[in-house]
Amino acid sequence: MKKNNILIIFILIGIIASSILAINRVRIEGDNKTVDITLDYNDIIKFAEQTEEGLSWWLKKFKDLGVNSVTINEDTFESMMEDQKPLEVKMVGNIIREIGWRDKYPQPLVNYIDESGRDKYDLVVVTDSESLFQLLKVRMDERYDENKYKLFNTENQFIIILDGTEKEALYSKTTLIDENNKFYSDLRELTGSKLMRLGLGFDKDTIELIKDSGLEVVLRPCNNNPNWIDEKYIKAYFKEHEKHNIVPKYMIFSSNEIIGYPDKTGVLREHLLANKMKVVLIETEVQRGVIEQEGIIGLTKDLNYEAIRLFSMVPYIQERYKFYNYEGAEEIENTLYRAVTERNIRLIFFRPFKENKTDYVTDYQEYERTFNSFKERIAEHNMSLGDASTMRYNQVSLIYKILIGFGLFGGGMLLLGIIFKINERLNKILIILGALLCIITPYVIPNMSEILYSLAAAIIFPSLSMAYFCKLMKSYSLENKVWKLKEIIFIGVKTLLIMVLITSIGALFVASLLSGIDYLLEIDIFRGVKFAQLIPIFLYLVVFLVYFGFRREKTTENEIKISEVKDILYLNIKVITVIVGIVALAVGYIYIARTGHETNIQPSNLEMIARNFLELKLLARPRTKEFLLAFPAVILAAYMIRYKSNLAIFVLGIIITIGQTSIVNTFCHLRTPLYLSIIRTFYGVLFGVLLGIIYTGLLVLVTKISKKMRGELLNE
């Protein structure tokens, strides 16, 4: 008992330390309650073209609904051609392939091509509009090194030549086949350059139109050609805000890296600090982590994590109109609601709804209903629309890691003592060494220790709860008495509640250890989730052998016997056992694969409809496998002590283990506010108890009917 008391003290130390961290995390999350919505200008203009009201009318209406701003991209040669500007773009490589090209093109251009050695990767921009040429000249001069481009003009043509390289070249690919339809070769042809998307500033008329509607403007820099970006471009970008009297709020990068990466990020940082701009981290399409953009994590850290998570309404989200048998955009609304309440999203990149890939939903009432419902639902979480809020900086100190390490060591030693018989002397040695290790580890590997500790917490405490389950079921099954139904239900409910409390210690440790800002913004992710779901199942099998053994007669012995392990290894396996095993493996694969968003195995439509219903009616939707199967299984297992059925308890125990690991898994979703995970688990237990009682009642009813049909006496 003394050694257990010491270990329990260690666990209590860990609980106290993690509770302090958890309270601090709740406060941080509680201050992060304002959500902003910005429109994508490119999408909204296409949408407005399909309506009778026009762009200006829709911008004002979206403003009334709660939209705060419109995000616009820089002009490029490509976008100007799409806007029907008098502009033509060609590659030098294509020009010199034309027969008689020297006679077709202006002499200044011919001379340049000859002098440059006919560099086929150079981009030639031609216009007959002097005003457009002058605009382009000013913008190029403001942004780029003058040695990278040349300007020419004749009486009726104006020419810009950009010094391109093979890195910017774009090709079209054609597969050649012979007369028998067999592959002959691939043909690659130079057709364009990434310089067609070179940033050329922002359209003044577009900005004025947006501002006249009462909406703010978010200028999104173009970074498709990082070799052209230097300090000159960065300064020009920030001058655009002054030129158009815009107070900048957010920095939303495009492409795969931030502007100025890698040499000029310091210049960018100084401008962001001076303008008090927040960096935007774009969530991936699978809704896990953030899109990789070179330099953005370092920049975020340099700005003391003044960052916002953005959810972009990608096309497949836009097209969820009348999805899951809804009458309108309810499923799109659900998606937005989950993004802000469950994933710390504070900026929504909004695009209008679509009936299909080409046709937009143009009914204003549908947008009004969606926005009003969305605002009402997030208000239940004390959230509102406005300028996007940020979370204050937070990191877990070494002292807290050490204290929680003591708690983990205490839990781990308890589990070890259940599986193996450890003598008093060895136990003392392990306690001394373990305590020293808890102190040293956070100093030696500070970042890795929080991951290792979290993984340990996710494994140890669900396994301890299953050890408690096995011990309790064993003790009750050894009692020589007839259990009444109300006694069984009481035992089942009590066992479930205590098991949830034991597992919740592990959940608390994970939620507090990984409460640093990197995890809350999902810059870092706890990647041991699937591993933490599998190991406790294996440990449950071991613990079950400790208490129940294999074909063990009634005995109070609680230890693994080598003879029983041999019996298992040399067991004659029947075909039906193999079939059951294959089915079990398939179910296990689906269980693991469905964890997260990176899998093709997704819930059925019926399950999603049920989930959405619970989500609409409750503050947090409980996890299906918990309340529907795993938690009721504890009460069903208690019912099995009436029949002394070790096999039934064993099978139900596997299901119960899945539920216990699921509790910790809920708290491993670190972007989800802590209070929401607690409420989700509470609902899961509440519904699990109710369903467990119902399942048990149905089992009793079926048993009585079965006995009556067989003519047996009913004595229950």
Instruction: Give residue-wise pLDDT tens across range 10-25.
Output: 999 999 999 999 999 9
- Tens digit of each residue's pLDDT (9 = 90 or more) over 251-306: 999 888 899 888 889 999 999 999 999 999 999 988 888 999 999 999 999 999 99
Amino acid, single-letter form, for residue 707: K
Q: Could you give the percent of the chain with pLDDT greater than 90?
A: 66
CA 360 to chain centre: 28
| Cβ-based neighbours of 12, under 8 Å, separated by 6 or more | 407
Please say whether the beta carbons of 652 and 636 come within 8 A: yes
With a cut of 80, say whether residue 633 has pLDDT above it: yes
> Which of 28-42, 76-90, 180-194 comes out lowest in average pLDDT?
180-194
> Which of 88-102, 175-189, 488-502, 650-664 comes out lowest in average pLDDT?
175-189
- Residue with the larger pLDDT of the pair 33 and 262: 33
Interatomic CA distance for residues 321 and 303, integer angstroms: 39
Q: Which two tokens stand for residue 676?
A: 């929401």
With a cut of 60, say whether residue 577 has pLDDT above it: no
Please say whether the beta carbons of 113 and 92 come within 8 A: yes
pLDDT of residue 1: 44
Ordered strands of the 158-162 beta sheet? 88-91, 123-127, 158-162, 149-153
- Residue with the larger pLDDT of the pair 183 and 711: 183
Please say whether the beta carbons of 81 and 127 come within 8 A: no
With a cut of 70, say whether residue 569 has pLDDT above it: no
- Measured in degrees and rounded to the nearest 5, phi and psi for residue 680 equal -60, -45
Interatomic CA distance for residues 59 and 63, integer angstroms: 6
pLDDT of residue 79: 93
The arithmetic mean of pLDDT across residues 526-540, rounded, is 87
Interatomic CA distance for residues 400 and 512, integer angstroms: 9
**Positions of E strands within 201-350:** 216-220, 250-251, 278-282, 307-312, 345-350
| Cβ-based neighbours of 189, under 8 Å, separated by 6 or more | 171, 172, 173, 174
Query: What burial letters (b/e) apply to 666-698, b meaning 16+ CB within 10 Å?
Result: bbbbbbbbbebbbbbbebbbebbbebbbebbee
Question: Which residues, in sequence order, are bridge partners of residue 360?
Answer: 354
pLDDT of residue 530: 80
Instruction: Reduce the secondary structure of 526-549 to three states and give it as a string.
Output: CCCHHHHHHHHHHHHHHHHHHHCC
- Measured in degrees and rounded to the nearest 5, phi and psi for residue 36 equal -110, 150
Please say whether the beta carbons of 97 and 131 come within 8 A: no
pLDDT of residue 575: 57
How high does pLDDT run on average in the chain? 89
Nearest to 251 by CA among 291, 310, 294, 196: 310
The arithmetic mean of pLDDT across residues 210-215, rounded, is 95
CA angle 349, 354, 357 (to 5 degrees): 105
- Residue with the larger pLDDT of the pair 616 and 234: 234
pLDDT of residue 567: 60
Q: Is there a cis peptide before residue 462, judged by omega within 30 degrees of 0?
A: no
Interatomic CA distance for residues 353 and 331, integer angstroms: 11
Please say whether the beta carbons of 442 and 404 come within 8 A: no
With a cut of 60, say whether residue 37 has pLDDT above it: yes
DSSP 8-class letter at 314: -
With a cut of 80, say whether residue 587 has pLDDT above it: no
With a cut of 70, say whether residue 384 has pLDDT above it: yes
Nearest to 675 by CA among 344, 230, 437: 344
Interatomic CA distance for residues 65 and 363, integer angstroms: 14
Interatomic CA distance for residues 340 and 673, integer angstroms: 10
With a cut of 90, say whether residue 407 has pLDDT above it: yes
Residues across the chain: 716
Interatomic CA distance for residues 597 and 604, integer angstroms: 14
- Structural element, H or E, at residue 511: helix 485-513
> Which of 114-128, 190-204, 262-276, 562-576 comes out lowest in average pLDDT?
562-576
Please say whether the beta carbons of 315 and 353 come within 8 A: no
**Sign of torsion over alpha carbons 360, 366, 372, 377:** negative
pLDDT of residue 472: 93
DSSP 3-state of 283:
strand
With a cut of 60, say whether residue 116 has pLDDT above it: yes
Interatomic CA distance for residues 637 and 651, integer angstroms: 9
With a cut of 60, say whether residue 186 has pLDDT above it: yes
With a cut of 80, say whether residue 712 has pLDDT above it: no
pLDDT of residue 291: 92
DSSP 8-class letter at 324: G
The arithmetic mean of pLDDT across residues 179-183, rounded, is 87
DSSP 8-class letter at 300: H
DSSP 8-class letter at 550: T
Question: Strand 88-91 and strand 69-73: pairing?
Answer: unpaired
Interatomic CA distance for residues 453 and 518, integer angstroms: 17
Q: Which two tokens stand for residue 448?
A: 């890795």
Please say whether the beta carbons of 39 and 69 come within 8 A: yes
Nearest to 624 by CA among 595, 582, 593, 586: 595
CA 409 to chain centre: 31
408: confidence class by pLDDT, cuts 50, 70, 90:
very high
Please say whether the beta carbons of 536 and 411 come within 8 A: no
The arithmetic mean of pLDDT across residues 382-410, rounded, is 95
**Positions of E strands within 113-155:** 123-127, 149-153
- Structural element, H or E, at residue 358: none
With a cut of 80, say whether residue 94 has pLDDT above it: yes
Interatomic CA distance for residues 549 and 563, integer angstroms: 10
Q: Which two tokens stand for residue 577?
A: 């056992």
325: confidence class by pLDDT, cuts 50, 70, 90:
confident
- Measured in degrees and rounded to the nearest 5, phi and psi for residue 218 equal -110, 115
Interatomic CA distance for residues 641 and 491, integer angstroms: 10
Interatomic CA distance for residues 539 and 513, integer angstroms: 24
End-to-end alpha-carbon separation of the chain, Å?
A: 40
